[in-house]
């Protein structure tokens, strides 16, 4: 069923609304948008043209996504979704967050409030991202990554959870990455499987992180090494 606020929403041309959708007040949905079933869109949300919300995945047998259940897709109050973005089933985006153009967020990922996803960035399945955090343009966040609050991830950052780099058995066993509160990752850096970035640490642009980073330090280089402690 569609929420009664549908009559008040601004709906563009050729947009498809599936069953079991709830739409809040003052919602704007652009042209050629597809809203799949079991989606909640809260008040003051804007979704621009050609976006897809709530689509269900079709994982391969070797996929890291073994769950057969998906959370409800929820777009919080005052969220903006740009042109041609895809938010899979089970994605939850809290209030006042900004999703730029051509962003890809896979199933069961959760984005905190007042956060930003830059143009063409991608978040794989089951990523968690805290409040007031930012992932900038063209960055790729691998599956099961945990991103804390007040984190900044610069453009073109790569995170990798596959310790076998696609070789070995057909079974995929990812090693999740943890990026703790207030940490900062410069552009073009690479974070290898299972790495933990400590609270309030900084990874310099272009660095390759091959071992855990302690809290309150600056690391740089390939492989990244500690060059300075950050004094609080």
CATH of domain 133-232: 2.160.10.10
The model's pTM: 0.91
What residues contact 197, with CB distance under 8 A and at least 6 apart?
Answer: 177, 178, 179, 180, 183, 185, 191, 203, 209, 212, 213
Query: What count of other Cβ atoms lies within 10 Å of the Cβ of residue 29?
Result: 23
Q: Where are the domains of the chain?
A: 1-56+67-129, 133-232
- DSSP letter at 46 equals E
Beta 146-147 vs 178-179: how paired, if at all? parallel
Query: What is the rounded CA–CA span in Å between residue 4 and residue 24?
Result: 9
Q: With cut-offs at 50, 70 and 90, classify the pLDDT of residue 56.
A: very high
- pLDDT of 150 reads 98
Tell which residue, 83, 74, 75, 78, has the closest CA to residue 30. 83
Q: With cut-offs at 50, 70 and 90, classify the pLDDT of residue 62.
A: low
Report whether CATH 3.90.330.10 matches the domain 1-56+67-129: no
Q: What 3 state SS string does the chain have?
A: CECHHHHHCEECCCCEECCCEEECCCCEECCCCEECCCEEECCCCEECCCCEEEECCCCCCCCCCCCCCCCCEEECCCCEECCCCEEECCCEECCCCEECCCCEECCCCEECCCCEECCCCEECCCCEECCCCEECCCCEECCCCEECCCCEECCCCEECCCCCCCCCCCCCCCCCCEECCCCEECCCCEECCCCEECCCCEECCCCEECCCECCCEEEECCCCEEEEECCC
- pLDDT of 208 reads 98
Q: Do domains 1-56+67-129 and 133-232 have the same CATH topology?
A: yes
Q: Considering only 12-26, 78-92, 162-176, 180-194, which range has the smallest mean pLDDT?
A: 162-176
The radius of gyration of the chain from alpha carbons, rounded to an integer in Å, stands at 18
- pLDDT of 1 reads 41
204-231 per-position pLDDT tens digit: 999 999 999 999 999 999 999 999 999 8
162-209 per-position pLDDT tens digit: 876 555 555 667 899 999 999 999 999 999 999 999 999 999 999 999
């Amino acid at each position: 069923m569609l929420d009664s606020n549908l009559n008040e929403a601004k709906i563009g041309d050729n947009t498809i609304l599936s069953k079991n959708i709830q739409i809040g007040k003052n919602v704007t949905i652009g042209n050629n948008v597809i809203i799949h079933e079991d989606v909640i869109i809260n008040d003051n949300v804007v979704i621009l043209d050609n976006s897809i919300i709530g689509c269900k995945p079709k994982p391969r047998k070797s996929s890291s996504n073994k769950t057969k259940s998906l959370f409800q897709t929820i777009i919080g109050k005052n969220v903006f979704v740009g042109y041609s973005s895809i938010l899979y089933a089970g994605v939850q985006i809290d209030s006042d967050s900004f999703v730029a153009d051509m962003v890809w967020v896979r199933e069961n990922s959760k984005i905190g409030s007042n956060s930003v996803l830059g143009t063409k960035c991608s978040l794989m399945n089951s990523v968690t991202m805290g409040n007031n955090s930012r992932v900038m343009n063209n960055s790729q966040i691998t599956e099961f990554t945990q991103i804390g609050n007040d984190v900044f991830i610069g453009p073109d950052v790569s995170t990798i959870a596959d310790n076998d780099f696609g070789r070995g058995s057909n079974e995929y066993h990812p090693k999740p990455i943890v990026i703790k509160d207030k940490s900062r990752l410069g552009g073009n850096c690479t974070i290898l499987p299972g790495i933990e970035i400590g609270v309030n640490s900084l990874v310099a642009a272009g660095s390759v992180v091959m071992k855990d980073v302690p809290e309150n330090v600056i690391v740089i280089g390939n492989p990244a090494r500690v060059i300075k402690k950050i004094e609080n």
